[in-house]
Amino acid sequence: MKMTIGEIVKAIDADLDNETDDVLQTEVNGVCFDTRKIQPGQLFVPLKGAHDGHDFVDSAIKGGAAATLWASDHADRLPLAIPAVVVADPLAAFQELSRYYLSKINPRVIAVTGSNGKTTTKDMIAAILGDEFHVTKTFDNFNNEIGVPYTILQMESNTEFLVVENRMDRPGQLDFLSRLVQPDVAIITMIGEAHIEFFGTRDKIADAKMEITHGLKEDGYFIYDGDEPLLTERAKQVNFAQRTFGRKNTNDVYATATSDGQFETRFTTNIWPDQSITIPMMGDYNVNNALAAISVGRIYQIPQLEIVQKLAHFQVTKNRTEWLTGNRGEKILSDVYNSNPTAAKEVLNAFSRTKTDGRRIAVLGDMLELGEKSPEMHASLKQAIDPTVISVVYLIGEDMQALYQQLKPVFAPENLHYYHADQLDQLTADLQADIQSTDEVMLKASHGIHLENVVKKMLAKSE
């Protein structure tokens, strides 16, 4: 993003505390809301969360901020060292600025949501489009009301496609994000149990996911899992061009055969029956993500061989089904960004089929936001844990006690370990003492459990 302060003021209909020609012509070259990461020339956005961002403006100034948004109810302490763009609500102004910039650059927008697979699908789509077009995609987990505007404002002026991930944890959230980005293509990867605490039923989750179509352009495409009755029913109510993917032969694109390996998955499709397609990820469940990405590639007439080549070499976002090598030589399957029952079972099933000369060790943490049925859903993971295949299990979190009770009758005490949520350091120490060089270790939990800290310790070189 490159804009003058004057353009920003006009775009969001703001006031400026020091309106001179020099200030109006001052160029801003980006936005930042975390003063630890601010770069010279950026616009500081003071958001209110656990702390009030206005309290950190001095750090932003020291970091080289060119200007700052500033809430009108903080007008009694305007910063003097840099221009302040005064608005009623810095977050709303930040969002409005992204809306203006999106309109100015005017890329085609691919919006992806779903209970599972949205990050992987986003990465696949960006790879498929990346040779033919200049593409910007959601970085890391910047996929909510703050992250999506931030992603938009990171676009370079020559961006032709924006591939943006949209998360949802409450009704109305996807409605806002969809109307903000106004997608040319809206994708729902699948309906699972993620955030069921806030919705109660999968039906209500499906209703909320369909909000991704609320901002879809009239000539846009709606792409969804055609094997999911909750989506096929609702798709009849929206008047957009539609493309479906899945495993049934009633879909526009479907897999005709799959072969799941330890580090890659191969499959064929109805549209290219003689073409073997490889993705560099384990797990048959990732085939559906690839089918959704292929559907986008076909809409934009990307050649078949180019789609196949890009899928074979795309880079997945960190901590999503990522194979690593630990400091003892053990193989680590890190999938610690998020978790829900569907995703956890899929990863456990794929992990159970890997080839290893040592033990398979599963480290599982609480799956959050599952509501009153959470204990039952945690206990249901037992069906994906065979003690003759997965030798050792480490569990952490209060709701994982339900799975612990289910596994106690089938695991020897020395092979089943349980920890409360505040015992992460103890789990880490015990796990590291247990690991042997030939072992494979799978880690999966919701991000709030912070298993990524366990992975970091497993990767750290000993001093």
As annotated, the binding site includes 114-120
CA distance 6 to 24: 4
CA distance 176 to 145: 8
- Residue 48 in 3-state DSSP? strand
CA distance 253 to 275: 14
Residue 332, beta-bridge partner list: 324, 441
What the block records as the tokens of 204 is 């209500």
CA distance 420 to 403: 13
DSSP 329-345: S-EEEEE-S---HHHHH
> By CB neighbour count within 10 A (0-12 exposed, 13-18 middle, 19+ buried), where does 145 fall?
middle
* Residue among 40, 162, 144 nearest 94 (CA): 144
Q: How many residues does the chain have?
A: 463
Element (H, E) at 76: none
Strand order in the sheet with 277-279: 135-137, 161-165, 108-113, 185-188, 221-225, 241-246, 253-260, 265-269, 277-279
Residue 41 φ/ψ region, left for φ over 0, alpha for ψ in the -120 to 50 degree band, beta for the rest: left
- CA 457, 49, 202, 209 dihedral sign is negative
Tell me phi and psi for residue 256, to 5 degrees: -100, -20
Annotated binding residues for ATP, as ranges?
114-120
Residue 52, beta-bridge partner list: 48
Cα separations (Å) of 141 from 285, 317, 321? Answer: 21, 9, 15
- Could you tell me if 286 and 278 are in contact, meaning their C-beta atoms sit under 8 angstroms apart? no
What the block records as the tokens of 273 is 């029956």
Cα separations (Å) of 392 from 18, 263, 360, 410? Answer: 64, 22, 7, 11
